[in-house]
Amino acid sequence: MNIIVCKSYDEMSQRAAQMVAAQIKSKPSSVIGLATGSTPEGLYAQLVEMCKNGELSFKDVTTVNLDEYYPINPTNDQSYRYFMNYHLFDHLDIDKANTNVPDGTAADPVAEAHRYEQKITDLGGIDLQILGIGRNGHIGFNEPDQKLMLDTHVTDLTPDTIDANSRFFASANDVPRQALTMGMGSIFKAKSIIIMATGANKKKAVSAMLERTVDTSFPATMLNFHPNVTLICTADVLE
Ligand code: GLP
């Protein structure tokens, strides 16, 4: 795993944006995997800036997001579709038809998970995947468990994740109990991966990942199997 330690959140966002921009410049029709959460907000602001400056174009880019709550309506401001439109897609020259987020309103979530996995396969996999990390070591919504799923699937959120994400909702009771998420295999279809982490509450999860062991109770440790992963983090995560 390559590790880039940054002095500030801004520097972390810039370094990640430079890597995304380099990917899109070298292959304008790239498939970029995207994450939600507060960690990549600065990265998305940088990409919007680059696009507004005319430095970067998303006209031929396709995006696939990692996950979405279930059930949730895209008009709900806590849905990941709403987050992506608000922070990124509404400000880029991207064709919205080429932005993919699992459908939190699907009547049959299992069928939706299959459709989403097939979509990733049909796109030929992901060129560059952006990941955050849950404080319990989850990636996407692959929660700590004895078994981890390979394909996109419906998952129950752990009490820890419901608690961590309740800060965005009126109360913990309003956090959906389930989600649709890419599996470990879907994520591993990415040719390269950037995992971003900032803040002392990510220390435990990141240090588990850097131990160079693999443990399904910290799903991010699986990234040690992938040949092309870059951790971009702020120094507080490693202190
Ligand atoms: C959520 C998302 C993850 C994200 C994680 C960390 O649960 N499903 O994809 O990486 O939380 O979020 P944050 O960056 O806000 O700490």
The residue from 65, 112, 127, 136 that is catalytic is: 136
Q: Please report, rounded to a whole number, the percentage of residues in the chain having pLDDT higher than 90.
A: 99
**pLDDT value at position 42?**
98
Q: Is 138 marked active-site?
A: yes
Q: Say which amino acid occupies 166.
A: S
**Alpha-carbon dihedral sign for residues 63, 19, 182, 235:** negative
Q: Where are any strands of DSSP class E within 22-122?
A: 31-34, 62-65, 67-70, 99-100
Q: Residues 40-92: pLDDT tens digits?
A: 999 999 999 999 999 999 999 999 999 999 999 999 999 999 999 999 999 99
Q: Is 67 marked active-site?
A: yes
The residue from 112, 117, 143, 153 that is catalytic is: 143
| Span from the CA of 35 to the centroid of ligand 1 (angstroms) | 8
Residue with tokens 């009490």: 159
User: If you take atom 9 of ligand 1, which residue's CA is the nearest one?
Assistant: 140
- The model's pTM is 0.97
